[in-house]
Structure 1
Amino acid sequence: MRRIQALLRHQLIWPALTLVLLFALDLAHRASFLSITILDGHLFGAPIDILNRAAPLVIVSLGMTLVIATRGIDISVGATVAIAGAAASIVLEADPSHVGEALLAAAGVGLLAGMWNGLLVAFVGMQPIIATLILMVAGRGIAQLLTGGQIIPIDAPGYLKLGDGYLATLPCSVWIAIAVTAASALLVNRTALGLFIRSIGVNPVATRLVGLRSTAIVFSVYVFCGLMAAIAGIIASSNVRSADGNNAGLLLELDAILAVTLGGTSLLGGRFSLAGTVLGALIIQTLTYTTYSIGVPPEATLVVKAIVVVVVSVIQSEAARALLVKQLMRIFSSARSRATTGMTNS
């Protein structure tokens, strides 16, 4: 009984159950949903497609997780994705063979965006949502200026492999997401940085009084978030083979915030889970796939997504979770009592 209660209170159980239920719904609608085939040495199937499409969101959400853990927010990641793709496309338009320079340009743009946000939040003391709103608005304009308001096609085979290429039967974007997730997990779990981030989120004043350089850490997490957005921009522009300053990364910041909250990270700071964030991103992408596959009209997709997000978020609240656990325990105890009585009577 206690093990079941502990399991139901685990931070990752509800996101995991939500993902399993979505998979079950897809499987009930289409029996071949989980089937994976190999064609020309590449894995194909709905699960692979979900992983591939979720890769940019996973990467952006990892950066967003650390920002939110410090009681911050970054609503400029979508614009940073667009700027990074535009910067890479400009380099590749001049010479498609300069893939390395294009990647450095995109990464540099992401770092500069993160440094700008970190400067305003950590050192100027501006509210995170206001500071990042500035770049959200201006950044979209910068991306359109870089592209001249046009969609710039990308025709560089080395660059395009990052988005639609394959490595060891899996899409390269999936491998990139796995590498970024592993590196982020090592950074926050195997060093003192994770503890510092949690401390700032729990009590920034006390953290500063004990001598911890909270401004430097807050600045660093915004820089990290900008870099993650740039990597996502590289994958996104490579996947669609073009840079679109107007539509690239549009509303991605909202999906990233949803992924973080679905994964159990507290918007009040302090408590965060990278594994939960990955599950949250997979939930959002699977939900998008499910709504289209079962025939939900496109205009109703956002409504369905909102309903699922509300349900999962409510379940994850402490009060709702305690009530749900209590009801489940009551049902379990009642079923066990009936089973015991039946055995006694027999």
Structure 2
Amino acid sequence: MRRLMWPVVVLVLLLALNVFFTPGFFSIEVKDGHLYGSLIDILRFGAPLILVSLGMTLVIATGGIDLSVGSVVAISGALACLLISEEASLFTAVAVALGLCLALGVWNGFLVAGIGIQPIIATLILMVAGRGLAQLITDGQIITVNSPAYKVIGGGYFLTVPFGILIVVAVLAITAFLTRRLALGMLIESVGGNAEASRLAGIRSRGIIVMVYAFAALCAGVAGLMISSNVSSADGNNAGLWIELDAILAVVIGGTSLAGGRFSLGGTVLGALIIQTLTTTIYSIGVPPETTLLFKALVVTAVCLIQSPAFRAKVMRRRGRASPLNPPATAAAPSEAASTPDGVRS
């Protein structure tokens, strides 16, 4: 809980800041049987990022990184929309799209665990090739679909709640159960802490690594379905663009170390909500579009520094040295520093 304190504080401050620029920011109302409000919009539009970040958390926990999730998002939406536009059933389109994403995740895991390629290089291959594949699927065009059933995935509602939020809650609950109620989470952390030691202890580290990359790609695939269904179209060039960087930031803000080992699913969700709330805040306070990315980078940098124990300790140490109540220690007198021939101080 202590690790989550700073992300919670930052999220609360960002939400409070919006009150000054958006009257009724915290108000939630029901219209036509649907929940509406700024908070609901943050959850709804942040749902794809939360999903991608959950998969990224487990990958980073093993000491890896996945730069290809943005391209997988584009591939998933492009393939599903292509199949639906060709009169395929919703089940077929979703199953084929997620199946391809799962295969791509296994490929990433094979390159990392089986061949031994560095994760950043292995996933960079798919990051570049996957974006090209998405554009090949769409033939360089934006595919539009008119499927009410497909629209439900990212833009529909169930029991007044946006369906995308329910998907995130379900995936989060399943992930938390598998990693915190079963031994899987401990195995992932042990592989990230020391892969060789875990292998010698009898843990099949290669299988664990392949599994987390497959899970990350599957989460990205679901996020791609949500993004494309929300706008009823697929754009192979821009869908999911740079979402991998936001996902990495969300994981880091949530307290998971890039070196691997212990991870926090709750912290990741908070990190993703911080990034989405920051995006909403930027538009609320009227930050010029040309400086949006710079403003976002500065805020995220400040958040990471604030929650860094090493940075806080260094700042406090400097304050302690500069305080008049803590004058610098004087050098010991020669007589005090003298020692006897036997080496014992007199």
Partner of 2:35: 43
Which of the two has greater helix per residue? 1
Partner of 2:158: 167
Report the more deviating stretch, 319-328 or 236-245: 319-328
Q: Which of 102, 105, 108 is 1:117 aligned to? A: 108
Partner of 2:77: 85
Residue 32 of structure 2 aligns to which amino acid in structure 1? D
Residue 60 of structure 2 aligns to which amino acid in structure 1? I
1:71 equivalent in alignment to 2:73: no
Partner of 1:278: 269
- Distance of 1:85 and 1:36 partners within structure 2: 30
**Alpha-carbon deviation of 1:273?**
0.4
Deviation per residue, 1:118-163 (Å, 9 max, x gap): 0100100000000000000000010100111100001111111111
TM-score when normalising by structure 1 = 0.90
1:130 equivalent in alignment to 2:121: yes
- Distance of 1:217 and 1:88 partners within structure 2: 28
Residue 102 of structure 2 aligns to which amino acid in structure 1? L
* CA-based RMSD: 1.6
TM-score when normalising by structure 2 = 0.90
Partner of 1:248: 239
Partner of 1:105: 96
Partner of 2:6: 14
Contact 1:121 1:128 (C-alpha < 8 Å) held by counterparts: yes
Q: Which runs of 5+ in 2 are unaligned?
A: 320-346
Residue 225 of structure 1 aligns to which amino acid in structure 2? A
Residue 18 of structure 2 aligns to which amino acid in structure 1? D
Partner of 1:54: 46
- Could you list the runs of 4 or more consecutive aligned residues of structure 1 that deviate by over 6 angstroms after TM superposition? 324-328
Residues 329-340 of structure 1 correspond to what in structure 2 (within 5 A)?
none
Partner of 2:141: 150
1:316 equivalent in alignment to 2:307: yes
Number of equivalenced pairs: 320
Structure of higher CA gyration radius: 2
Partner of 1:225: 216
Partner of 1:214: 205
Contact 1:87 1:109 (C-alpha < 8 Å) held by counterparts: no
Q: Which of 270, 282, 287 is 1:291 aligned to? A: 282
Percent identity between the aligned chains?
58
**Alpha-carbon deviation of 1:30?**
2.3
Q: Which runs of 5+ in 1 are unaligned?
A: 1-6, 329-346
- Distance of 2:85 and 2:309 partners within structure 1: 52
Give SS of 2:3's match: coil
Partner of 1:332: none
- Distance of 1:322 and 1:182 partners within structure 2: 35
Deviation per residue, 1:256-281 (Å, 9 max, x gap): 00110010000000021000000000
Deviation per residue, 1:69-101 (Å, 9 max, x gap): 0000000000000111111012101116x0000
Residue 59 of structure 1 aligns to which amino acid in structure 2? L
Deviation per residue, 1:232-291 (Å, 9 max, x gap): 001011011101111110001000001100100000000210000000000000000001
Give SS of 2:30's match: strand
Deviation per residue, 1:172-206 (Å, 9 max, x gap): 01111111111111110011110001101111111
Residue 91 of structure 1 aligns to which amino acid in structure 2? L
Q: Which of 157, 168, 182 is 1:177 aligned to? A: 168
Residue 110 of structure 1 aligns to which amino acid in structure 2? C
After superposition, the Cα gap between the structure-2 partners of 1:119 and 1:289, relative to the gap in structure 1 and judged at 3 Å, is same
**Alpha-carbon deviation of 1:27?**
1.0
- Distance of 1:241 and 1:14 partners within structure 2: 37
- Distance of 1:322 and 1:191 partners within structure 2: 35
